[in-house]
């Protein structure tokens, strides 16, 4: 990558952040998990990391927030490591749905009643049941350990307030999980599986943590700082493909056209994305658009991608 591009980014980013931040007022902070509604609506922060360890951050990059759906990318990878491709794709499909992330419509309508992909809630709950471990706490400890390793941050932990808030109000996810159990998709006890899922959604991060995790994906599974292969290339390829086709909920097509990078968003307003072979990027902007994506975050990514011609397509 050119140093010139990185230098330009460093100069332009603060102003771009302030321009995109204004769009925050057009959206809403998620409130269906009550604890998430406390997030600052006007916040926008970003951290960009390259393979040589250089970084740029701008805006509210010290804000911590829960990973929510962003965690689904990495639990998918862990489930692939634990079970292999064949077993994983006997429980979840490979197709976008066009439905909301928390829809259970197709679980009834389309046989054999397996979730369409691992990034919608139903798919991620099925993936949680595939994580190896004796019981839910054991599985969750393995997930947390894996995330810490990818982020290079041993202090990553749960936000227990968000975890409890989600667990207490997750009627829709609960009904979906019981339906999946009935369809023969879920292994193990439903409440245990849900506990693994709620915990990984509640892992607290900063933009810098997301950028480190993204950098591993952008480098085909290698930690560029140590040269160590942390994830097999094939699994990174699978994860990046799902991020491109389903990562931005049912706005993934629009995002592919406007930004053109693999990305995953979460209802906390976080987005993990990357410029493959160049940068890992983490950002947060808690104000969401109607599709559930950070409104200012998507705007900022669009500005950067179009300016530097980052689209993969
Ligand atoms: N924990 C959230 C839920 O299950 C994740 C949703 C999201 O970020 O899209 O509803």
Q: What is the pLDDT of residue 62?
A: 94
Q: Taking residues 3-14, report their average pLDDT.
A: 94
What pLDDT digit, counting tens, does each position of 122-180 carry? 999 999 999 999 999 999 999 999 999 999 999 999 999 999 999 999 999 999 999 99
Topology agreement, domain 3-67+206-308 and domain 69-201 = yes
Domain range 69-201, CATH class: alpha beta
User: How far does the centroid of ligand 1 lie from the alpha carbon of residue 254, in Å?
Assistant: 21
Examine the pLDDT at 305 and tell me if it is beyond 70. Answer: yes
Q: How confident is the model at residue 84 (pLDDT cuts 50, 70, 90)?
A: very high
pLDDT band at 115 (very low <50, low <70, confident <90, very high): very high
Per-residue confidence at 106, pLDDT binned at 50, 70, 90?
confident
The pLDDT mean for the chain works out to 96
Return the CATH superfamily for domain 3-67+206-308: DD-peptidase/beta-lactamase superfamily (3.40.710.10)
Q: What is the reported pLDDT for 51?
A: 94
What residue's CA is closest to ligand 1, atom 6? 69
When comparing pLDDT for 100 and 175, which is higher? 175
- Residue 291 in tokens: 């599709």
| 72 has a pLDDT exceeding 80 | yes
How far lies 222's CA from each of 102, 203, 233, 240, in Å? 32, 23, 8, 14
d(CA 41, ligand 1 centre) in Å: 18
Q: Is the pLDDT of residue 1 over 60?
A: no
Site to probe by mutation for ligand 1, drawn from 70, 121, 180, 265 as the one with most ligand atoms within 8 Å of Cβ, is 121
Using a pLDDT cut of 90, give the percent of the chain over it. Answer: 91
What average pLDDT does range 288-295 have in this prediction?
95
pLDDT value, residue 2: 63
Q: Please tell me the distance from the alpha carbon of residue 117 to that of residue 156, in angstroms, as a whole number.
A: 27
**pLDDT band (50, 70, 90) for residue 112:** confident
What are the strands, taking DSSP E only, across the chain? Answer: 28-29, 45-50, 55-59, 65-66, 157-158, 203-205, 222-223, 228-229, 263-265, 270-275, 279-284, 287-288
Give the pocket of ligand 1 (CB within 6 Å): 68-69, 101-102, 121, 166, 173, 201, 266-267, 292
Task: State the distance from the centre of ligand 1 to the C-alpha of 189, rounded, in angstroms.
Answer: 20
List the beta bridge partners of residue 270: 284
CA distance 99 to 91: 19
Give 65's strand partners. Answer: 205
What tokens does 266 get? 């979460």
pTM to 2 decimal places: 0.97
- Residues designated catalytic: 69, 72, 197, 249, 267
Centre of ligand 1 from the C-alpha of residue 260, in Å: 23
List the chain domain ranges. Answer: 3-67+206-308, 69-201
At 242-276, the pLDDT tens digits run: 999 999 999 999 999 999 999 999 999 999 999 99
What pLDDT was estimated at residue 307? 97
């Amino acid at each position: 990558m050119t140093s010139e591009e990185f230098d330009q980014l460093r100069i332009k980013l603060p102003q771009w952040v302030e321009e995109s931040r204004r769009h925050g007022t057009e959206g809403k902070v998620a409130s269906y998990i009550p604890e998430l509604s406390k997030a600052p609506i006007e916040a926008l922060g970003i951290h960009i990391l390259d393979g040589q360890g250089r970084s740029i951050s701008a805006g509210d990059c010290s804000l911590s927030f829960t990973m929510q759906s962003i965690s689904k990318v990495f639990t998918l990878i862990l489930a692939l490591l634990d079970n292999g491709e064949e077993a994983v794709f006997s429980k979840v499909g490979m197709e976008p749905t066009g439905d909301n992330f928390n829809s259970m419509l197709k679980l009834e309508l389309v046989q054999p009643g397996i979730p369409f992909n691992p990034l919608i809630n139903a798919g991620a709950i099925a993936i949680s049941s595939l994580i190896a471990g004796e019981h839910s706490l054991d599985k969750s400890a393995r997930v947390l350990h894996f995330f810490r390793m990818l982020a290079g941050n041993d202090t990553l932990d749960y936000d227990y307030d968000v975890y409890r808030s989600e667990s207490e109000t997750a009627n829709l996810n609960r009904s979906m999980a019981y339906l999946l159990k009935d369809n023969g998709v879920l292994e193990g006890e439903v409440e245990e599986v849900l506990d693994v899922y709620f915990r990984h959604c509640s892992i607290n991060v900063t933009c810098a943590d997301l950028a480190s995790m993204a950098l591993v994906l952008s480098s085909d599974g290698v930690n560029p700082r140590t040269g160590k292969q942390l994830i097999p290339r094939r699994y990174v390829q699978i994860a990046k493909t799902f991020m491109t086709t389903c990562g931005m909920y049912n706005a993934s097509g629009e995002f592919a056209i406007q930004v053109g990078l693999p990305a995953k968003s979460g209802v906390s307003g976080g987005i993990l994305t990357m410029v493959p072979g160049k940068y890992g990027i983490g950002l947060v902007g808690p104000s969401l658009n109607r599709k559930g994506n950070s409104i200012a975050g998507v705007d900022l990514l669009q500005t950067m991608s179009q300016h530097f011609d980052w689209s993969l397509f």
